């Protein structure tokens, strides 16, 4: 007899969907995850590893591939186990959070500053300036990020500075397009026209009237971009064009463990979970900020 699918009643909504909705309404969970997995480890990485754990750059081949403490053959000396070179995984995950936070902070600030400046000027002045900025945006969008990273690595060499430059070149386009659209909608508003009549300079109009009205949008975009930056940095490191060895980076640790998934699953699992939890938390926090800062969504 063929199986007949019986539809569930409408009131039996997925508990997972309800839980995600509650998390989006209250940012306590994503903030807690960020504090535990990103901010606190990044700030106190040296203190934690110097007093309780091992040096993330010092490994012993005799202690390679030790399983986590709760697995058979594990040890409390290496709670998350060790990798194929004997590095302590927990120490490297903690120091990897510092690398991720540094890359995210510098690249978002740099790319955001360039993109916001160009977007304000393109939206306010229009004309040839707008055409130049938008053509630069089109050129960047036509170049794949990984290909750009490969070119820069060939010119500058792999390293932290190369990753930051690549990510900043990716991010400025998003800020420029978004802020240009906001500026086009604001520049003909009454408060801007009154400022012009009162003799306000162009610089004052851009910095005191237009920019403050885009701050909410910038905050939400920057929050959402943190997760994307961490994911992009991990992807570049995974492909070998990002953070060089032996610097502890989450993407690099996942790459080191991809061939050991069957016999030593912990090598790639723990840095991978750090990436997943951090990116998910930043996206949920960004959604919550968008709901709170956007008047239309807040009223709804």
Query: In the structure, what pLDDT confidence band is assigned to residue 6 with cuts at 50, 70 and 90?
Result: very low
| Dist. CA 283–CA 40, nearest whole Å | 19
pLDDT of residue 101: 83
Q: Does domain 40-299 have CATH number 3.40.50.2300?
A: no
pLDDT of residue 238: 78
pLDDT one-digit tens code per residue, 88-109: 888 888 888 888 888 888 988 9
pLDDT tops 60 at residue 4: no
Two tokens, residue 297? 């969504």
pLDDT of residue 20: 55
pLDDT of residue 16: 54
pLDDT one-digit tens code per residue, 172-226: 898 998 999 888 888 888 888 888 888 888 888 888 888 888 888 888 888 888 8
pLDDT of residue 299: 52
Query: In the structure, what pLDDT confidence band is assigned to residue 15 with cuts at 50, 70 and 90?
Result: low
pLDDT tops 70 at residue 293: no
The model's pTM is 0.78
Is 283 or 267 the better-scoring residue by pLDDT? 267
**Own/partner pairs, 37-41, CB within 8 angstroms, 24+ separation:** 37/97, 37/274, 37/277, 37/278, 37/281, 38/97, 38/100, 38/101, 38/278, 39/101, 41/93, 41/94, 41/95, 41/97, 41/98
pLDDT tops 70 at residue 151: yes
Domain limits, the chain: 40-299
Whether the CB-CB separation of 190 and 213 falls below 8 Å is answered with no
Residue 280 exposure: Cα atoms within 13 Å on the Cβ side: 12
pLDDT of residue 115: 92
């Amino acid at each position: 007899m063929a199986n007949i699918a019986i539809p569930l009643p409408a009131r039996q909504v997925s508990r997972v969907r309800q839980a995600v909705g509650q998390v989006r309404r209250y940012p306590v969970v994503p903030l807690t995850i960020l504090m535990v997995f990103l901010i606190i480890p990044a700030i106190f990485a040296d203190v934690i590893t110097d007093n309780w754990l091992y040096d993330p750059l010092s490994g012993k081949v005799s202690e390679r591939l030790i399983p986590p403490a709760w697995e058979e053959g594990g040890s409390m000396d290496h709670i998350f186990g060790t990798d194929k070179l004997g590095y302590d995984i927990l120490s490297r995950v903690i120091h990897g959070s510092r690398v991720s936070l540094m890359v995210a902070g510098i690249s978002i600030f740099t790319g955001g500053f360039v993109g916001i400046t160009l977007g304000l000027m393109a939206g306010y002045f229009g004309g040839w300036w707008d055409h130049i900025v938008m053509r630069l945006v089109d050129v960047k969008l036509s170049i794949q990020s990984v290909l750009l990273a490969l070119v820069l690595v060939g010119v500058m060499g792999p390293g932290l500075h190369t990753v930051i430059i690549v990510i900043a070149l990716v991010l400025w386009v998003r800020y420029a397009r978004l802020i240009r659209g906001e500026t086009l909608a604001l520049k003909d508003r009454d408060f801007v026209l009154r400022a012009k009549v009162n003799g306000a300079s162009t610089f004052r109009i851009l910095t005191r009237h237009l920019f403050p009205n885009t701050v909410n949008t910038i905050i939400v975009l920057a929050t959402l971009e943190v997760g994307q930056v961490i994911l992009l940095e991990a992807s570049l490191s995974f492909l070998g064009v990002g953070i060089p060895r032996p610097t502890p980076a989450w993407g690099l640790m996942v790459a080191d463990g991809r061939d050991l998934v069957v016999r030593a699953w912990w090598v790639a699992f723990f840095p991978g979970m750090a990436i997943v939890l951090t990116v998910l938390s930043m996206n949920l926090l960004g959604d919550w900020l968008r709901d709170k800062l956007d008047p239309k969504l807040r009223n709804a």
